Each structure stands twice: as structure tokens, then as C-alpha cells.
Amino acid sequence: MAEIYFLGTNGAVSRPDRDHTSWIMPTSEGLLLVDCSGSVFQKIQRLGFHPRQVRFVFLTHVHPDHIFALPSLVHGLMLEEGRIELCGSEETVSFARSLLDLYGLRRRSFRTRVLFRPLRHGGTAQVGRVLRVQAWKTPHHSSSLAYRFDLERKKKKIFYSGDTPLHRPLFDAARGVDCLIHEASAPSRFFRKYPLLYSFHTPARDLGRFCQEAGIRCLIPCHFLGELSFSPSEIRSEIRREYQGKIIMPRDLERIPL
């Protein structure tokens, strides 16, 4: 059985009960960490894992709430013998390398080494022995990529959008996957109030409609905008008006079997 654990479920602004969106997935080769923000080192331990188990890091883009904890993670592993394969767009990988160099975290004295692997839109890559990944560009930022993870031994397919406005090619790419993890930043009423949000994020009701049209079987909404006042139950209700499939509303530090 594949399973994922949400370290956080909010967007750029954290709240007492919700940190920035990131998640981990155990594999036979170690932990896969998707985006790196909030108190990643501590939260991985709270879930019963050790940060030295992090073997792969996938970054969706360079915005602070998706990358700012990377130096902290690497710094915390300075005495641990290990290797992390860091994947992202060319722009993201270059930014991550510069960020680690800013803190001197790639010196030979650091026992955990970070290997950088840029991925391209539409390309498929073998990452480790059991993971195949396909990357898809999204219109949120010039560095943005979404990912389709194919776990070959578990025969599971998971698609993660990262931050993005509605982008129909992503839903076409997600057809047939076991689970789509997609941002649902806020209820539609906030998009009507702040139309600029449409350029960068996805309203809940439209997400439901696109998922229904694409035949998505299971949807996990996340990346809720903490600077706005609403309940995740409002997100669920809006999605359900348009979507008949399975909805899982994640909480921080929750284990979700797939």
C-alpha cells in the first residue's frame, strides 16, 4: 500500500493548525519529500520518521513557502552520512543550489550531499529504482512544475499540481491516476473579490468541475490560503457541487493511505 503524510496544507501564510503545504511518501529507498517549507525537520520526526531518511526532494517552484526550509533540512543533516537527490525545473534547481551555497551548505565537511537533477516539461525520468516521474509545466510561475509519480512496485500513480491556476492540460495528464493532489486555494467568493487570484491559483468550485470532466477518481485539495477567513469544509462543499468522486480533505500530520 502506498501512503502519504501531509506536513502542511496551507499556502503562503501558515496558521496555528496549518503549516505551509508539503508532504512525504515512504518508498523502499527512503522518503520522498515534495516541497520543503515550514518546520520540516521537526514534523518528519513527529510522524515517526527521521529526516536522514529523506532520499528525494521534489520542488514545484521557487516561491518562499515551497523552498525556504531546504537550508534548514540540509543543515540539520550535516553530521548524517547520506545523499539527497533534489529535482525540479532548471530554474528551481539553480535557485536551490544558490540558496544552499549562500549558507555554505555544500562544503565537504557536510556529510549529507545534495545532488541536483533538473527536469523538463513533458519529460519522464527514472528516479531511484522504483520511481518514474513525469514533469508538467504550470502557469503559476516561470519555475513551476507539476509531477506525476509512478510507483512501479506498488503500481500506484499520484499527480501533484503544486500552485497553479486552472490548467486543463494537467487534468488531461492526470486521467487514470489513483489520486490527484491539487491546490484549492480558496472558495470562489474570494476570487470574485480579488480577481488577481485567478492568475495564480484555483478556486474550489472550478476545481470540482474540471475534476468531474476529467474523470478524476480521487481528489485531495490542499494549499489553502491562510490569509483569508474560511473553513476547509467550505472548500469541500464547493467541490462537491461539481464533483462526484472521492474527496479527501487533508489535515497537517495526517497519514493518508492510497
CB contact at 8 A, 254 and 5: yes
| Angle of CA points 179, 134, 257, to nearest 5° | 25
Backbone angles phi, psi at 109, to 5 degrees: -70, -15
The Cα 78–Cα 225 span in angstroms is 33
Q: What is the crossing angle of helices 204-214 and 232-242, to 10°?
A: 40
Q: How far apart are the first and last CA of the chain?
A: 7
Q: Where are the alpha helices (DSSP H) in 33-142?
A: 40-46, 64-67, 70-76, 90-102
Distance of CA 168 to the CA centre of its chain: 19
Residues in the chain: 258
The beta-carbon contacts of 15-18 under 8 Å, at least 24 apart in sequence, are 15/226, 17/252, 18/224, 18/226, 18/252
Averages of pLDDT over runs of 10 residues in the chain (258 residues) are 94 95 95 96 97 98 97 96 97 98 93 96 89 95 97 84 97 94 98 97 98 96 97 97 97 95
CB contact at 8 A, 146 and 160: yes
For residue 154, what pLDDT is reported? 67
CB contact at 8 A, 252 and 7: yes
For residue 156, what pLDDT is reported? 87
The Cα 234–Cα 185 span in angstroms is 11
The Cα 149–Cα 66 span in angstroms is 18
Number of H helices, E strands in the chain: 8, 14
CB burial class (10 A; 0-12, 13-18, 19+) of residue 198? middle
Q: Which amino acid is at 147?
A: Y
Q: By three-state DSSP, how is residue 68 classified?
A: coil
For residue 176, what pLDDT is reported? 87
Q: By three-state DSSP, how is residue 249 classified?
A: coil
Residue 11 to residues 44, 182, 185, 228, Cα–Cα distance (Å): 19, 12, 7, 10
The Cα 109–Cα 73 span in angstroms is 16
For residue 151, what pLDDT is reported? 84
Q: Which amino acid is at 243?
A: Y
Domain locations along the chain: 3-252
CATH number of 3-252: 3.60.15.10
